[in-house]
Copies of this chain bind each other. A is one copy, B any other.
Amino acid sequence: MTRIAFLGLGDIGTPMAAHLADAFELTVWNRTPAKATAFAGAHKATVAPTAAEAVRGAAVVCTCLSTSVDVESVVASAVSALGPEVVWVDFTSGDPATSQRIAARLAAIGVPFIDAPVSGGTSGAQQGTLTLMLGGDPIVIERVRPVLEAVGKKIVHCGPIGAGDAVKAVNNALLAINLWSAGEGLAALKKAGVPSAVALDVINASSGRSNATMTLIPERVVSRAFPRTFRLALLDKDVGIAAQVARDQKVPSPLLQLAAELMRLAHATLGESADHAEMVKVIERWAGVEIT
């Protein structure tokens, strides 16, 4: 049976690795070892003491870390232990430029790399219904398809290396823009005498609707629930990546760039632990009104 190394047991990585443990021979590694030990207690998996030990002999190496820079550093520490037939699959929400740099480094020793960021959140990861956005060589993707199908439901080849990262970042930037702009509009309507639930009732039957107005704002903002499922700090990072992609591609993108600044200031204002939907609290403070 194919041996898989999985590096990075965070909120998304852990349930993904759990699916892989059911189907493959799995070795796990995590920067904080306690998480790896706990994982091996709950699933059929071996714990490796270092990233290098984890990847030794693996047919597929999977990473799911916070940033591409983290991946780059793990690659550096593990590269000498990689076997000749291995493929590196990176599920991190990364940035295209760093992914391309990593891919070039691995290509120099004959190891193919694909960027494969996911969407669907922790619940999608648990249910194995993630969407996977892939960048890299289609032939390589075919070689690891069983691994991809074990964790994701919708698997889309987006383009060359970095394309998966780019699509993920743009998706998240659109989420940020749709959410923030709805926050501005709903705050203004509330001050003009329109309850947010009434405004959403209309908007969600009309042309301005989005995932933000149909799901996030009713369930998290108007309800004041603000569950913490996806940190604003990470969304800030993603919107920054999308803004960088647009800059690198020389696409004038005033909304995208302004959104990156709004995420930056919301992140600075609300701190590291705030959920992404809490961004609207910045508008609420400025405007002196609650979106309810």
Q: Which residues does A use to contact B, with CB under 8 Å?
A: 96, 119-120, 131, 133, 154, 156-160, 162-163, 166-168, 170-175, 177-178, 180-182, 184-189, 191-195, 198-199, 201-203, 205-213, 240, 242-262, 264-265, 268-269, 283, 285-289
Contacts and interface: CB of A to CB of B under 8 A. Distances in A.
Contacts of A250: 191, 264, 268, 287-288
Given A158-B199, A193-B159, A258-B257, A209 B208 contact: no
Contacts of A207: 119, 171-172, 175, 211
A216 to B, nearest CB: 8
B185 A199 contact: no
Contact of A172 (B208, B242, B245): B208
A242 B185 contact: yes
10 contacts: A166-B188, A166-B192, A167-B203, A178-B181, A180-B255, A184-B246, A184-B256, A243-B257, A254-B258, A257-B261
Main secondary structure of the interface of A (DSSP, over half): helix
Given A154-B205, A268-B287, A166 B184 contact: no
Contacts of A265: 252, 286
A252 B257 CA distance: 11
Contacts of A264: 250, 252, 286
B210 A178 contact: yes
Contacts of A173: 181, 185, 208
A177 B203 CA distance: 14
A105 B289 CA distance: 31
Contacts of A171: 202-203, 206-208
A68 to B, nearest CB: 15
A255 B255 contact: yes
